[in-house]
Amino acid sequence: MRPSRSIHKFGSLKCCVIESDTLDKANNGLVILNHGFGASGDDLVDIGTMLMDESEIIAARFRFVFPEAPIDLGPMGMPGGRAWWPINMAQLAEMNQTKDYSDLTRLSPPGISEATSLLETTLQEIRSTYNVADDKIVLGGFSQGAMVSTNLALSTGFKPALLVLFSGTLLSCEEWKRLAIAHPHCSVLQSHGFEDPILPYDPAKELSAMLTEAGFNVDFVSFHGGHTIPMNVMQKLLERLEQIA
């Protein structure tokens, strides 16, 4: 079994869609995963391929969609790289050096609202095109893709079957806390490396605690490693998808 791969435009975002030839199109779910800053739009496609290869249940029950972020970083010296919003890398590096993350967790990055709105429109169109109910949709991403997914869920009240946050972080802490309390709540799979040199571990734990206190069912997976998605986390995602299916 080799998943087919196609490119579609949902809303204003180009998306890579992969599905198995065993997909039950009358009874299928969606996994929508958003890549991180500087990556290409198809950066996470191998996750879908691997999960389908490992699980006949996932291959039969889930279509995977990988949206491409709206900002082209090619003119900034990153050919093929995309971003959901611009990042001040010097500011982030200074926070990591001083270990003072209070500014990070209070930060509401310029462009996050616009990116969230674009992704929401894309999500609505994907959901309508494939006629999938919210309780069969998994939304998430890696790094900046995890952040935009969190902001979308909290700011719109969207309740996916599972919110997947790989190496994300806490932003706009007061606003996210207020929105999280008002949200209908959902299950969350969150992971973060102790030695993450890009987005530090402690603010990720703060995000987990904030969501948990608000009523979300958070499964937080810590691991020894950096800004990545290790195999034990992939195994956890596989298990959760099989449960949703």
The neighbouring-strand residues paired with 166 are: 142, 191
Q: Tell me the pTM.
A: 0.94
Based on the structure, what is the number of domains in the chain? 1
How large is the C-alpha radius of gyration of the chain? 17
Crossing angle of the two packed helices 144-156 and 173-182, in degrees rounded to 10: 50
- pLDDT confidence of residue 26: 86
The CA dihedral of 73, 167, 163, 179, to the nearest 10 degrees, is -80
CATH label of the domain that carries residue 62: 3.40.50.1820
Which 3-state string (H, E, C) describes the chain? CCCEEEEEEECCEEEEEEECCCCCCCCCEEEEEECCCCCCCCCCHHHHHHHHHHCHHHHHHEEEEEECCCEECHHHCCCCCEECCCCCHHHHHHHHHHCCCHHHHHCCCCCHHHHHHHHHHHHHHHHHHHCCCHHHEEEEEECHHHHHHHHHHHHHCCCCCEEEEECCCCCCHHHHHHHHHHCCCCEEEEEEECCCCCCCHHHHHHHHHHHHHHCCEEEEEEECCCCCCCHHHHHHHHHHHHHHC
CA distance 25 to 23: 6
Range of the domain at 170: 4-244
Q: β-pairing, 62-67 with 71-72?
A: unpaired
- pLDDT confidence of residue 180: 98
- pLDDT confidence of residue 3: 85
Q: What is the pLDDT along the chain (245 residues), one digit of tens a residue?
A: 678 999 999 999 999 999 999 999 888 999 999 999 999 999 999 999 999 999 999 999 999 999 999 999 999 889 999 999 987 666 666 666 666 566 667 777 889 999 999 999 999 999 999 999 999 999 999 999 999 999 999 999 999 999 999 999 999 999 999 999 999 999 999 999 999 998 999 999 999 999 999 999 999 999 999 999 999 999 999 999 999 99
